[in-house]
Amino acid sequence: MVWSERQRRMLQEMGIRLWAPVAADAVADPSPTAAPAPAPAPANVRLSPAPAAPGAAAASQQAESNDDPGDDPGRAAAIAQLAWAPLREAVAACTACGLCKERRQTVFGVGHPSAHWMIVGEAPGEQEDRLGEPFVGPAGQLLDNMLRALRLTRADAPAAQQVYIANTLKCRPPRNRNPEPLEMARCEPFLQRQIELVRPRLILAMGRFAVQALLRSDQPIGKLRGQVHRYQGVPLVVTYHPAYLLRNPADKARSWDDLLLAAQVADEASQAAATAANVKLA
Ligand code: SF4
């Protein structure tokens, strides 16, 4: 396969080595010295704060222990009614599972509130817990490179270019252990509401726990990638988590294929939205 100049630039941004028979001087140098420079620190995009809303308090109160079922059937319904500011407030005050005890802070999400692309990761790590933003550190830099390859960004930009990024869990599991099912279940209404508010044209689910939460599937990423799924009607593409790719660089090429599929689906969704808008105007 012969890569176009644009595709070669995109692959270089992701640090993907080219195996295709392209001209020698056009092949990305896989040596560490040729790796793309780390992306500049992303703009810390925040939604504007608002006064406390009654629903926020109701949504954040719950059992503080994973041993206490404390299920409140009204909690998910309350969260489903929240606008952005009270939703953020509810997450910040949430004690619905035991993860609240060891967190430094919750990690809500960043990006355009009406982004066309929504990126869903897994759970905050040490740096995210410290900084309050998802996907920071080396995995975040790789994600930024992947986004840049698609002409997307987490920094301030129009909805078609600026993504929205959220994790499945809003609090860091101690010592980065795997999330427990009950923790994921109690946190899920927050992510659901974020997706409802953003109403993205495409969801990119990165990593096993994001996929489990959104697709209710225990199948490995390798079995689920390469096809278009749906989450509440929104097209969803599955790919590897950037932290996994840092440990398994050979899978970056597969991840690139996933990004191309996601870009194609997002383009089709945008064309359909434009056609529908034109029909309305006619
Ligand atoms: Fe609440 Fe989610 Fe944090 Fe658990 S992980 S305390 S459900 S915000």
Enumerate the domain spans of the chain. 5-19+41-281
What's the pTM? 0.80
Output DSSP code: residue 118.
E
Residue 244 CA, ligand 1 centroid: distance in Å: 24
258 near 239, Cβ under 8 Å?
Answer: yes
Tell me how crowded residue 154 is: count the other CB atoms within 10 A of its CB: 27
Residue 136 CA, ligand 1 centroid: distance in Å: 20
Q: Which of 67, 100, 167 is the pocket-test mutation for ligand 1 (most atoms within 8 Å of CB)?
A: 100
Farthest-apart Cα atoms in the chain, separation: 63
Residue 91 CA, ligand 1 centroid: distance in Å: 7
Distance CA 64, CA 85 (A): 23
Distances (CA, A) of 270 to 200, 231, 273: 10, 17, 5
Sheet with 117-121, strands from edge to edge, namely 110-111, 164-167, 117-121, 202-206, 234-239, 229-231
Which residues share a beta bridge with 258? none
The β-bridge relationship of strands 229-231 and 234-239 is antiparallel
Residue 123 Cα: closest atom of ligand 1: 5
| Owner of token pair 């790719």 | 245
Query: Which residues, judged by CB distance below 6 Å to any ligand atom, belong to the binding site of ligand 1?
Result: 91, 94-97, 99-100, 106, 169-171, 183, 186-187
Residue 251 CA, ligand 1 centroid: distance in Å: 31
Per-residue pLDDT of the chain (282 residues; tens, 9 = 90+): 445 665 565 556 665 554 443 333 333 332 333 333 333 333 333 333 334 455 566 566 554 555 554 456 789 999 999 999 999 999 999 999 999 999 999 999 999 999 999 999 999 999 999 999 999 999 999 999 999 999 999 999 999 999 999 999 999 999 989 999 999 999 999 999 999 999 999 999 999 999 999 999 999 999 999 999 999 999 999 999 999 999 999 999 999 999 999 999 999 998 888 888 887 776
Q: Is the dihedral of CA 125, 261, 146, 112 positive or negative?
A: negative
Which residues share a beta bridge with 204? 119, 237
Distance CA 254, CA 96 (A): 37
109 near 46, Cβ under 8 Å?
Answer: no
Q: What is the pLDDT of residue 45?
A: 30
> Token pair for residue 254?
């597969």
Q: 106 exposed, middle or buried (CB, 10 Å; 0-12, 13-18, 19+)?
A: buried
The fold of the 5-19+41-281 domain, in CATH, is: Uracil-DNA Glycosylase, subunit E (3.40.470)
Q: Which of 79, 104, 170 is the pocket-test mutation for ligand 1 (most atoms within 8 Å of CB)?
A: 170
